[in-house]
Structure formats: C-alpha cells, structure tokens
Amino acid sequence: MRLQYVLKDIGIGLRRNLTMTVALVVVTTVSLSLLGVGLLMREQVALTKGYWYDRVEISVFLCNEFDTGANCAGGKASKEQKAAIRQTLGGSPEVQRVFFETQEQAYQRFKLRFNADLADNITPNQLQESYRIKLKNPEKYEGVVSAVSGLAGVFEVSDQRSTLGPIFDIINRLQWATWAASVALLTAALLLTGILIRVAAFNRRRETSIMRLVGAASFYIQLPFILEAVVASVIGAALACGLLAAFQVLVVQGQLERLRFTQWVGWQQVLSIYPWLFAAGVALAVVAAFVTLRRYLRV
C-alpha cells in the first residue's frame, strides 16, 4: 500500500515537472560523463605509469678510454672505481637490482637498435660500460642519481623518467581540467535538483499539508521528493555510462589504440567506473533533497 502510493507519487511528480526533469537529467548526464572521463584519465595515468615504469631504468654510463670530463680524468673507469660505484648502488635502499652491461653487450644492443652498417663503423671499445639500475619505486630516482653522479669513473647518469615527465604532466593537467569542469557541472546539477524539489514541493503543498495534519511521519512525506530526485539522477547516471561506453568505442578503441606508445584503458577500467557514477548521482540527489526539504518542506 505504502510502496504503491510512493511510486505513484514519483511518477506524477516527474511528469508534472517534465521540463525540469529533462533539464536535470541532461545536466546530470553531462556532469557525470565528465566525472567518468576524469576517472578514466586517472586510470590511464596509472596504466601509462605502470607500462613505462616496467621499462624504466637508470643507466650509469662509465668512462671509456676516449671520454673526457670531470670524472673521467683517469681514462677508462678502473676496477676500483667500478667497485666503489657498485658498492654505492648496492648500499642504496631504493635500488632493487643492478645489471652490469659490458662494452661487448652494449655493442650487441647497438647493432640491434641501429643498422649493421652503422655498427660496422664503430668498435665495442668506443661504447661505454654501464650499470643498469632497476628501482624499487620508479618515482624515487633522485637519491640514486645524485649519489653516483659525482663518483670518479662515472661519465653520465641518464634517467629515462625525465623524458616521460612531460607526458605525465599533460595527462595530469587534462585530468584536472576534466575534474574542474565536472565539479562545475555537478554544482549546477545539485542546484537544479534543489529547484526541481522546490517546485515539486510547491506543487504538492496541499497533499503534504494534509499528510502533515493527519500525522504522516516526516520521512514518509519527504520520501517521494527524495526518490523523485534519485530517479532523475539514476537516469542521468545510466546515460552517462552509455556516453562513456561510446567514448571508449569511438575515441579509445577507434583512435587512441593506434598509438602504441602505451597501454590504453580497456573495458575493465570503464566498467570499474560505473558504480562510482551511480554512487555520485544518488549522493548528489540525496544531498540536494535533504538540504532543500529542510528549508521548503517544514514538517
């Protein structure tokens, strides 16, 4: 009986304020879609970091006999120098593993990466020996870099992470921009929900005043209004999920996946965001409803 009454009331309310309901659904859809894209970008950042950090290492190139430079005064790095460098790296808590690459190994790699003609023109002893370091946490590279940079026998320390920095920067900024836009729109959705409920409460002031007088519990009086807002938000969230799926198909799978420099977000990430969109939509409706009803539906 009660449920039937409440459901009937929601239907009537939503139809009576159709324009407002449509406006609310549209704004909720757009704001939640942007929120979804923001969350998806966060996933993308995580994926990109994971993808690259697996491959990132710090390379400590050692002086060969031709090198000149502050730390290469003694020519080719000596055994003692190498031992000192090795010891420094071994003592660092941030280092996970250290490989040593000989001049011969460097030459083989060179041959693999560039063409054989070019490789024919150089000899292994023109290349540098190096320590390749895998870090426990790829974000914490400064300590290791500064620890070994000044050591005798070290020609150069190169850290691949510095080249990835700008890419992460761009994604991070895009992510923040999306979130800012979605917050602005969510605020609009919040206010619209408030107005929707105000109008609904005003339209039904006769019913609610009678409910009050015969002693209906205040929650029971408010429930239809809250549910009305929740229904509109859930529709908005469902549409936002649809838009996000379209984004995944058209933009990510259609365009971005041709770019192979990273791993792109997949359906797993998209689906993991859906519950958050629904949660955000419902939370939005409930917050707006409670605040508005406190002011406009005195019990």
Partner 1 sequence: MIRFDNVSKLYPGQARGALEDITLDVEKGEFVFLVGASGSGKSTFLRLVLKEERPTAGRIFVAGKELARLSQWKVPALRRQIGTVFQDFRLLANKTVFENVAFAMEVIGRSRGQIHRDVPAVLELVGLDGKEDRMPDQLSGGEQQRVAIARAFVNRPAIVIADEPTGNLDPTTSVGIMKLLDRINRTGTTVVMATHDSTIVDQMRKRVVELEDGQLVRDQSRGVYGYSR
Please select the residue that binds partner 1; options are 66, 99, 202, 220, rule is CB under 8 A. 220
CB of 1 to partner 1, least distance (A): 5
Determine contact, residues 271/174, Cβ cutoff 8 Å.
Answer: no
CB of 5 to partner 1, least distance (A): 5
Tokens of 194: 């408030």
CB of 207 to partner 1, least distance (A): 6
Cβ proximity to partner 1, 206 vs 260, nearer residue = 206
CB of 206 to partner 1, least distance (A): 7
Cβ proximity to partner 1, 156 vs 207, nearer residue = 207
- Alpha helices (H) in the chain, listed in sequence order: 2-16, 18-53, 79-91, 103-113, 116-120, 142-149, 161-203, 205-213, 218-247, 267-296
Please select the residue that binds partner 1; options are 2, 15, 55, 113, rule is CB under 8 A. 2
- Alpha helices (H) in 130-160, listed in sequence order: 142-149
Cβ proximity to partner 1, 8 vs 109, nearer residue = 8
User: Could you say whether residue 213 binds partner 1 (CB under 8 A)?
Assistant: yes
- The piece of 48-56, 83-91, 126-134, 213-221 that touches partner 1 (CB under 8 A) is 213-221
Cα separation, 82 vs 87, in Å, equals 8
Please select the residue that binds partner 1; options are 55, 79, 113, 206, rule is CB under 8 A. 206
Tokens of 92: 């660092």
Determine contact, residues 88/148, Cβ cutoff 8 Å.
Answer: yes
Cα separation, 9 vs 180, in Å, equals 36
User: Could you say whether residue 15 binds partner 1 (CB under 8 A)?
Assistant: no
CB of 218 to partner 1, least distance (A): 7
Determine contact, residues 227/6, Cβ cutoff 8 Å.
Answer: yes
Among 12, 22, 11, 29, residue whose Cα is nearest residue 246:
29
Residues with Cβ within 8 Å of 66's Cβ and at least 6 positions away in sequence, in order, are 126
- The piece of 98-106, 174-182, 217-225, 289-297 that touches partner 1 (CB under 8 A) is 217-225
- The piece of 25-33, 64-72, 204-212, 262-270 that touches partner 1 (CB under 8 A) is 204-212
- Binding residues (CB under 8 A) for partner 1: these are 1-2, 5, 206-207, 209-218, 220-221, 299
